Chains A and B, each alone.
Chain A
Amino acid sequence: MAHPETLDRLVRSVATQVRRRRAEHHALRGAFWAALPAVIVMALKGPIGPYAMVIGLALVPLGALVGAVWGLARGTSQADAARLADRAFALEDRVATALEWADRPDRTPLVDALVADAVVRVGALSPRTIVRRILPREARFLPVPVLAVIVLALAPAVPMPSTYLPDFTPGGEEEEKEARTGAGPLEQRSPREARERLRPPSFEERDFAARSGAASASTGGDLSAVFKDTSLSSQRPDFNSLLKKGDERLKLLEQVDRLPDLASDFTTSQYKMVFKKTKALASGMRPNDISPSKLKELLEEMERLGRKGGNWTGEVGEGMEALEGGHNDRALEAMQKALDKMRAQEDAQRSGKGLRGGRDNERGGGGRDRGEGGYPDDMDFGDGEGLLPGKGKSASPKGEASRRLQASPYDVGVEGESRRGRKDGFDTNMTGRGGQMSSRLQYLGVIGQYRKMMEDAITRESVPRDYHSQIKDYFQALDER
């Protein structure tokens, strides 16, 4: 069965529209890309000469013409044109199906009915343009190079840098005039003349008379006058004063115990190191542009530091979760909170010991072996100590917790009374004697880990969905204590 002429005519019409739109599309693109070299040509119209105007003004229409020819030359398949017609005229794929099935050997009797139906419907259509115009991206910027070409065409030639070497010598105007008019380029001068011009001036010609501070008049050509400084030469060093002050400084240096521990306070400051890395990572970048792997490394480092007694592991855990969820901004926010806590802890430590002078082991009892004068807040747990319930050393005046529990299962508390405000942990919950005890649970230090374990457990154990929010609410309530 031959294609009905009506359907073929419709498809040809659509294909023509497509080619025309393509020609427009590519003509605009061609004009834009041709306008760029046209701008360059017009900018160089001075050196290029009178042909620049012709070339520059011809390039833009030439590019448009090439683009249009390219667009017209590209073919459109019959199926694509039929599909476009179906869509544009709401023919519900009748034309495309009819054209595809009309020539097939396995066509069914219904195909004849389909073709007849399609012909009737297409015949009732009123012709109109159905292919919409799609402007290329370059079309928006086309006015810029075109305007530049026009402006450059109307404007005088842009002055080009001269090939002559500038004359820095204080010679007379005659020589300069001679060089501009009579003499050619440097290569055209005689070698002797060129050597003469490029010869460096001698030092003897310099005039040092105007130098300030020169008390005595220097003779012309005396190079040593440069180094004469009468203001300094009139003074003599006071070695006695230097020795006197030096003795005091040397005595100070002998009292090493009074020197501030700069290395401990500043160089090895965890907060400063991490803060520097954070700043280096995030400076000038949007959160989404920051490398997640770098961010993760930093968070892991903070988590490692936090395990040694810091109370920012909860924030680090939140940051890790946000990072896994692809929310860099939330991860950064959590990291900033953790940094704030690190800084607060650093400040607390420094306010207690850093500015007092003396060595670390003499400041408040020293490290883990501190005695009565120790600072409980400075307690530094080792790896795996004090992070989980039941671990860590107890210095309770009531004895070890295990023994007390064996004796009385209800005696699990510590002495003291609750302090007002938000608590950083069970240890800061106390004032009085209870607050001085060194065995405690870094509450906020572990709640983040527990919450993460809870999230893993929910996923792994296939907890019913209805219970997810309940479990999460419970941990949220723990975190808000």
Chain B
Amino acid sequence: MTQDARVQEFVTAFDGLRAEGEKVIVGPREIITHVLVGMFAGGHVLLEGAPGLGKTLLVKTLSECLELSFARIQFTPDLMPADIIGTNIIVEDAEGRKHFQFQPGPIFAHVLLADEINRATPKTQSALLEGMQEASVTVGGASRPLPAPFFVLATQNPIEMEGTYPLPEAQLDRFLLKLRVRYPAIEELNAIIDRTTHAHPVSVERVVSGAKVLAFRELIREVPVASHVRDFASGVVMATHPQWGDAPEITRRFVRYGASPRGAQALILGAKVRALSEGRYNVSIDDLKALAAPALRHRVILNFEGEAEGIDVDNLVSQIVESVEATATRAKEPFLR
């Protein structure tokens, strides 16, 4: 198969998944696109939004479009780690001998929906850490690999904060992207009403198999990145650090901690998926700009002044990107050098 055909196949699969998602989900197209970007980049996605905006429905629909196993965990304060990863139970065989047998938990699925993840205790949340990072879990001293591809889609509600346990920074960092699901516009709300109150529910088709998803992940890593584009990504991530010498003023004033190297990885990987989904064979600066907010918004921690002033992290990241772009344009302008 030629490279053009491989890329075209990916574009078809990507567009097909997005179209199936849009059959069910009404709302901004970029949410579905970014969820798919996170999945094909091999990362996990955190969806944040008010109740009833279709976060769970989006994930369920996506899993139906993929020929992959799906599991859902509703996080509650009394949920225990064993409820997620599984446990050894005593079973008796036909001869009456008893032995321990591992009973896998819901984490052993291709697509895992961690619904309202911030309602579980940190101990239970951390049970997801190893699975998300290493794609394996350890139970009773034995490490067990998770099925591939393994993809966690977590949701959290930002307004009901009583009785919740905000995700620690280490766990937030393990999500490739954090997406904010906004409230629909009135036209979108009308469409939601029409679709969900109709006698015949919408059905979706399976578009991509698990093996294809893995093949696409390899293809995505082949997308070349020019050095100046890579430098731009590094510059944006470094500019989120107030201690960095060339950090913009807004960072120095409002940011306590900047993005980790995972932020740069997320930027480049996400940009590769975006480029390929548009049928392009290379990453451009525009891809990075489009992915900057979802990849960095949960990795930038505001200081007290930033919190007190009510600084919006998305605006902050946007200004940082503009600042880095202006600096890069000035420095790289061959005419002025």
Q: Shortest beta-carbon distance, B200 to chain A, in Å?
A: 42
Q: Is the CB of B228 within 8 A of A108?
A: no
Residues in B with CB closer than 8 Å to A101 are: 224, 226
Q: Shortest beta-carbon distance, B237 to chain A, in Å?
A: 19
Contact of A93 among B3, B222, B283, B307 (CB under 8 A): B283
Q: Shortest beta-carbon distance, B249 to chain A, in Å?
A: 12
Interchain CA distance A8-B222 in the complex, whole Å: 24
Residues in B with CB closer than 8 Å to A134 are: 335-336
B129 interfacial by beta-carbon distance below 8 Å: no
A18 interfacial by beta-carbon distance below 8 Å: yes
A45 interfacial by beta-carbon distance below 8 Å: no
CB closest residue in chain B, given A117: B281
Chain A residues 112 to 131 lying within 8 A of chain B, measured CB to CB, are 112-114, 117, 131
Residues in A with CB closer than 8 Å to B202 are: none
Taken residue by residue from 347 to 382, chain A's Cβ proximity to chain B (1 for < 8 Å, 0 otherwise) reads as: 000000000000000000000000000000000000
A199 interfacial by beta-carbon distance below 8 Å: no
Q: Is the CB of A465 within 8 A of B7?
A: no
Interchain CA distance A101-B282 in the complex, whole Å: 10
B244 interfacial by beta-carbon distance below 8 Å: no
Question: Max chain B CB contacts within 10 Å: which of A22, A117, A134, A459?
Answer: A117
Q: Shortest beta-carbon distance, B33 to chain A, in Å?
A: 17
Q: Is the CB of B308 within 8 A of A110?
A: no
Interface 9-residue window, one of A74-82, A328-336, A443-451, A473-481: A74-82
Q: Is the CB of A22 within 8 A of B335?
A: yes
Q: Is the CB of A114 within 8 A of B282?
A: yes
Q: Shortest beta-carbon distance, B307 to chain A, in Å?
A: 7
A94 interfacial by beta-carbon distance below 8 Å: yes
Residues in A with CB closer than 8 Å to B286 are: 92
Q: Given the known A-B contacts A100-B226, A101-B224, A131-B335, are A114 and B281 also in contact in the complex, defined by CB atoms under 8 Å? A: yes
Residues in A with CB closer than 8 Å to B228 are: 79, 83, 93, 96
Q: Given the known A-B contacts A97-B229, A113-B281, are A77 and B334 also in contact in the complex, defined by CB atoms under 8 Å? A: yes
Q: Is the CB of B304 within 8 A of A462?
A: yes
Interchain CA distance A272-B121 in the complex, whole Å: 68
Interchain CA distance A84-B4 in the complex, whole Å: 27
B11 interfacial by beta-carbon distance below 8 Å: no
Q: Shortest beta-carbon distance, A16 to chain B, in Å?
A: 12
Q: Is the CB of A92 within 8 A of B284?
A: yes
Q: Is the CB of A107 within 8 A of B335?
A: no
Q: Is the CB of B334 within 8 A of A114?
A: no
Q: Shortest beta-carbon distance, A11 to chain B, in Å?
A: 12
Q: Shortest beta-carbon distance, B288 to chain A, in Å?
A: 10
Question: Max chain A CB contacts within 10 Å: which of B227, B228, B304?
Answer: B228
Q: Is the CB of B3 within 8 A of A113?
A: yes
Residues in B with CB closer than 8 Å to A18 are: 334-335
Q: Is the CB of A110 within 8 A of B334?
A: no
Q: Is the CB of A25 within 8 A of B224?
A: no
A98 interfacial by beta-carbon distance below 8 Å: yes
Interchain CA distance A418-B228 in the complex, whole Å: 75
Residues in A with CB closer than 8 Å to B226 are: 93, 96-97, 100-101
B285 interfacial by beta-carbon distance below 8 Å: yes
Question: Max chain A CB contacts within 10 Å: which of B222, B226, B283, B332?
Answer: B226
Q: Shortest beta-carbon distance, B20 to chain A, in Å?
A: 27
Q: Is the CB of B334 within 8 A of A81?
A: yes
Interchain CA distance A117-B2 in the complex, whole Å: 14
B310 interfacial by beta-carbon distance below 8 Å: yes
Total A-B Cβ pairs within 8 A: 79
CB closest residue in chain B, given A93: B284
A468 interfacial by beta-carbon distance below 8 Å: yes
Residues in B with CB closer than 8 Å to A98 are: 282
Q: Is the CB of A80 within 8 A of B332?
A: yes
Interchain CA distance A80-B228 in the complex, whole Å: 10
A109 interfacial by beta-carbon distance below 8 Å: yes
Chain B residues 189 to 238 lying within 8 A of chain A, measured CB to CB, are 219, 222-229
Contact of B3 among A22, A110, A465 (CB under 8 A): A110
Q: Is the CB of B227 within 8 A of A100?
A: yes
Residues of A in contact, count (CB < 8 Å): 34
CB closest residue in chain A, given B224: A101
Interchain CA distance A226-B294 in the complex, whole Å: 100
Q: Is the CB of A97 within 8 A of B332?
A: no
Interchain CA distance A21-B304 in the complex, whole Å: 49
Q: Given the known A-B contacts A79-B228, A92-B280, A110-B7, are A84 and B334 also in contact in the complex, defined by CB atoms under 8 Å? A: yes
CB closest residue in chain A, given B229: A93
Contact of A465 among B2, B219, B310 (CB under 8 A): B310
Q: Given the known A-B contacts A84-B334, A98-B282, A465-B308, are A109 and B225 also in contact in the complex, defined by CB atoms under 8 Å? A: no
Residues in B with CB closer than 8 Å to A117 are: 280-281
Contact of B307 among A22, A77, A94, A465 (CB under 8 A): A465
CB closest residue in chain A, given B280: A92
Interchain CA distance A468-B310 in the complex, whole Å: 13
CB closest residue in chain A, given B226: A97
Interchain CA distance A92-B219 in the complex, whole Å: 20
Q: Is the CB of A97 within 8 A of B224?
A: yes
CB closest residue in chain B, given A71: B335
A111 interfacial by beta-carbon distance below 8 Å: yes
Contact of B282 among A21, A79, A94, A459 (CB under 8 A): A94
CB closest residue in chain A, given B278: A92
CB closest residue in chain B, given A92: B284
CB closest residue in chain B, given A21: B335
Q: Shortest beta-carbon distance, A284 to chain B, in Å?
A: 31
Q: Is the CB of B224 within 8 A of A114?
A: yes
Interchain CA distance A80-B282 in the complex, whole Å: 17
Interchain CA distance A83-B232 in the complex, whole Å: 13
Q: Is the CB of B332 within 8 A of A83?
A: yes
CB closest residue in chain B, given A115: B281
CB closest residue in chain A, given B272: A110
Q: Given the known A-B contacts A18-B335, A465-B307, are A111 and B285 also in contact in the complex, defined by CB atoms under 8 Å? A: no
Q: Is the CB of B285 within 8 A of A110?
A: no
Taken residue by residue from 244 to 286, chain B's Cβ proximity to chain A (1 for < 8 Å, 0 otherwise) reads as: 0000000000000000000000000000000000001111111
CB closest residue in chain B, given A82: B226
Q: Shortest beta-carbon distance, B27 to chain A, in Å?
A: 27
Interchain CA distance A419-B222 in the complex, whole Å: 84
Q: Enumerate chain B interface residues (CB-CB to A < 8 A).
A: 2-4, 7, 219, 222-229, 280-286, 304, 307-308, 310, 332, 334-336
In addition to A96-B228, A110-B224, A131-B335, 16 A-B residue pairs with Cβ atoms within 8 Å of each other are: A21-B335, A79-B228, A93-B228, A93-B229, A94-B280, A94-B282, A97-B224, A97-B229, A100-B224, A100-B227, A108-B224, A110-B3, A110-B222, A113-B7, A114-B282, A462-B304
Provide 13 A-B residue pairs closer than 8 Å at the C-beta atoms, listed in order of the A residue: A22-B335, A83-B228, A92-B282, A92-B284, A93-B228, A93-B229, A98-B282, A100-B224, A109-B222, A110-B224, A113-B7, A114-B282, A462-B304
Q: Which 6 residue pairs of A and B lie closest in terms of their CB atoms, listed nearest first? A: A114-B281, A108-B222, A80-B334, A113-B3, A92-B284, A97-B282
